[in-house]
Amino acid sequence: MSEEKHLDNNASEQEPCEYLRIVRLTRCQSVEALDCALERMFQELFGTDGVLVMRPTGPLVEEGGSVQHIHVSSMENNIRDVVIGDSQRCPKRRYLDAILEVYGNQYELLLKNQVDKLTGLSNRQLLDEKISRLTVNRDVSDRRKNEPERIVAIFDIDHFKLVNDRFGHLYGDEVLVLVSHMMKQAFRTDDWLFRYGGEEFLVFLNNVDIEHGRSAINRFLHQVEAHDFPQIGKVTISCGYTLYKPYENFSTIFDRADKALYFAKGNGRNQSQFYEDLVANGDVESTERDSDIDLF
């Protein structure tokens, strides 16, 4: 076989593989899946399992030809040489640029579908995906030893209907935006913040014990109470929270937090209530049901 024909055959074998990698990115239905797909591509291209992907925090930005949102651990220097150092006309450089451009476009598209447009918090769709991933990833045989501590909290703006009725929905939306902004500042980047619906928010506090979680929740409530909302004045929030138990259905966990929230609403508002404390004190009946526990 001539050298030219051999090269043509190699090219024809390579093109479908390169094309399928890009198609793989466009078929991702979540940001998490997209990150995993990009990470796998770098592993295929550079033969390392030490590749990590850091998501962009905003639109893709290039400075001096470098792609800012990609971070690679063990192969960092090699990939930087390929992505940045090679000539713009280098085929591999152009191919990597194409992959990153597709990744960026798909990321922005998925992000729009997973973020509440008004508040900028994650929406119900992403909440469902997070819960699904927690369910899939849990190891039933080792769940109690290695599962990180989590708290699930439901926040509800007190008398929000009166705000809309008295001042109009425009001011009501402004309250939602300001409360969401304070929520982002009050909690850590590792916590998951969701607009659950209307004036209700749901927060996963990750890797936290109950005392630190309680302090963070009450600190946020005090920050909202102390804020002077334009035209409206004072706004308060009530909260119900509970421990996340990985072997339970999430609907059971949510019901516990919601029951604590209902107690907070019915006993003065502008407060937080911990479901487990309420049960221990006899203030509410336990919602524990053996049928809700996944044994298999």
> In this predicted structure, what is the pLDDT of residue 137?
67
- Quick one: pLDDT at residue 296? 32
What is the structure's pLDDT at 16?
59
Of 91, 114, 137, at which residue does a domain stop?
A: 114
Q: Are residues 159 and 260 in the same domain?
A: yes
Q: Is residue 12 part of a domain?
A: yes
User: Residue 156: inside a domain, yes or no?
Assistant: yes
Query: Is the domain of 249 the same as that of 181?
Result: yes
* Whole-angstrom distance, CA of residue 144 vs CA of residue 246: 8
Task: Please tell me whether residues 266 and 153 are part of one structural domain.
Answer: yes
**Residue 199 among the catalytic residues:** yes
The catalytically annotated residue of 32, 199, 248, 288 is: 199
Q: Are 137 and 107 within one domain? A: no
Q: Between 139 and 237, where is the model more confident? A: 237
Q: Are residues 140 and 250 in the same domain?
A: yes
Q: How far is CA 196 from the centre of its chain?
A: 13
Please say whether the beta carbons of 198 and 160 come within 8 A. Answer: yes
Q: Which of 114, 144, 170 is the last residue of a domain?
A: 114
Residue 266 has pLDDT above 90, yes or no: yes
How many independent structural domains does the chain possess? 2
pLDDT of residue 172: 96
Tokens representing 223 are 């920050």
User: Taking every pair of C-alpha atoms in the chain, what is the biggest distance, in angstroms?
Assistant: 86
Q: By C-alpha distance, which of 33, 86, 59 is closest to 41?
A: 33
Q: Express each pLDDT in 11-64 by its tens digit.
A: 444 555 778 888 888 888 777 788 888 888 877 776 655 555 555 444 444 444
Tens digits of residue pLDDT in 77-120: 444 444 544 455 566 777 788 888 888 888 888 877 888 989 99
For residue 256, the Cα-to-chain-centroid distance in whole angstroms is 22
Q: Which residues form the domain of 46?
A: 3-114
Least trusted range by pLDDT, from 185-199, 230-244, 280-294: 280-294
HEC sequence for the chain? CCHHHHHHHHHHHHHHHHHHHHHHHHCCCCHHHHHHHHHHHHHHHHCCCCCCCCCCCCCCCEECCEECCCCCCCCHHHHHHHHHHCCCCCHHHHHHHHHHHHHHHHHHHHHHHHECCCCCCECHHHHHHHHHHHHHHCCHHHHHHHCCCEEEEEEEECCHHHHHHHHCHHHHHHHHHHHHHHHHHHCCCCCEEEEEECCEEEEEEECCCHHHHHHHHHHHHHHHHHCCECCCECCCEEEEEEECCCCECHHHHHHHHHHHHHHHHHCCCCCEEEHHHHHHCCCCCCCCCHHHECCC
Predicted local confidence at residue 48, as pLDDT: 59
Q: Which two three-digit tokens encode residue 188?
A: 């850590």
Q: Is the pLDDT of residue 73 over 90?
A: no
